């Protein structure tokens, strides 16, 4: 129940971020729903396919479709209250990657994968929905820019195993690791921390 609650919360967060991007692009209601849908389930779908967990989770449990549908309706109705769309998008996206990183990591553990593979699976779960969203909306996916995004997922996933190593109770390890992802992402944006640019400026 604990893990499904986290999964639903992550689904809501990513669905809202999808709605905000779609509305910023002035898509119609169907387009808004599709963008919210792929943002919320894209990473989980890739994860389930990679570990052979089929049919994928949203096809087996209607709660995900219902959650996304209800979230889209509420987000559209109350979009006018979100005065700063970019700030709202950032917050919901950050919450989503924190929650989904640990959900993907847990699925990797259930599949008996090595810790490094679990971290990779968690990172893909958290990032891939946003990649699809940005591509469909004609944006360069944030994961491919200099921003600390996937790096926060990787470090958050690694922190989970560190917390386990020092005997932190299981549920607290999850919550703390989620907070690591969220806090790292917030701090990176606030203080302009980014990965180094590999391209040299041309002299001219």
- Average pLDDT rounded to a whole number, residues 10-36: 92
Q: How many domains does the chain have?
A: 1
Does a structural domain hold residue 202?
Answer: no
Residue 191: pLDDT band (50, 70, 90) is confident
Please state, in angstroms and rounded to a whole number, the distance separating the CA atoms of residues 179 and 106: 16
Beta bridge partners of 183: none
pLDDT score recorded for residue 91: 86
Q: What is the pLDDT of residues 3-20, one digit of tens each?
A: 788 889 999 999 998 998
Does a structural domain hold residue 197?
Answer: no
Instruction: Give 92: exposed, middle or buried? Use CB within 10 Å, 0-12, 13-18, 19+.
Output: buried
pLDDT score recorded for residue 204: 47
Does a structural domain hold residue 201?
Answer: no
Does a structural domain hold residue 150?
Answer: yes
Does a structural domain hold residue 204?
Answer: no
Does a structural domain hold residue 116?
Answer: yes
**Residue of 167, 44, 110 whose CA lies nearest to 118:** 110
Provide the 10 A C-beta neighbour count for residue 123. 27
Does a structural domain hold residue 203?
Answer: no
Separation of CA 192 from chain center:
21
pLDDT score of 105 more than 60: yes
Beta bridge partners of 194: 147
Q: Which domain holds residue 93?
A: 2-190
Q: What is the pLDDT of residues 44-92, one digit of tens each?
A: 999 999 999 999 999 999 999 999 999 999 888 887 776 566 677 788 8
Is 20 in contact with 89 (CB distance < 8 Å)? yes
Please state, in angstroms and rounded to a whole number, the distance separating the CA atoms of residues 149 and 182: 10
Does a structural domain hold residue 74?
Answer: yes
Residue 141: pLDDT band (50, 70, 90) is confident
- The tally of CA atoms less than 13 A away on the side-chain side of residue 190 is 8
């Amino acid at each position: 129940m604990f893990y499904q609650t986290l999964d639903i919360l992550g689904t809501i967060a990513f669905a809202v971020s999808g709605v905000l991007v779609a509305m910023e692009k002035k898509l119609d209601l169907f387009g808004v729903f599709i963008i919210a849908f792929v943002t919320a389930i894209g990473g989980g779908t890739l994860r389930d396919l990679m570990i052979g967990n089929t049919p994928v989770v949203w096809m087996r449990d209607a709660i995900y479709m219902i959650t996304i549908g209800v979230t889209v309706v509420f987000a559209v109705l109350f979009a006018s209250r979100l005065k700063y769309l970019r700030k709202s998008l950032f917050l919901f996206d950050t919450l989503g990657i924190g929650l989904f990183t640990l959900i993907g990591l847990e699925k990797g553990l259930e599949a008996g994968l090595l810790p490094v593979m679990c971290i990779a699976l968690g990172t893909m779960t958290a990032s891939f929905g946003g990649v699809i969203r940005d591509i469909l909306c004609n944006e360069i996916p944030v994961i491919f820019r200099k921003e600390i995004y996937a790096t926060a997922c990787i470090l958050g996933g690694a922190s989970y195993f560190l917390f386990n190593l020092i005997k932190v109770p299981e549920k607290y390890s999850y919550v703390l690791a989620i907070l690591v992802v969220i806090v790292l992402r917030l701090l990176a944006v606030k203080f302009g921390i980014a990965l180094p640019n590999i391209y040299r400026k041309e002299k001219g």
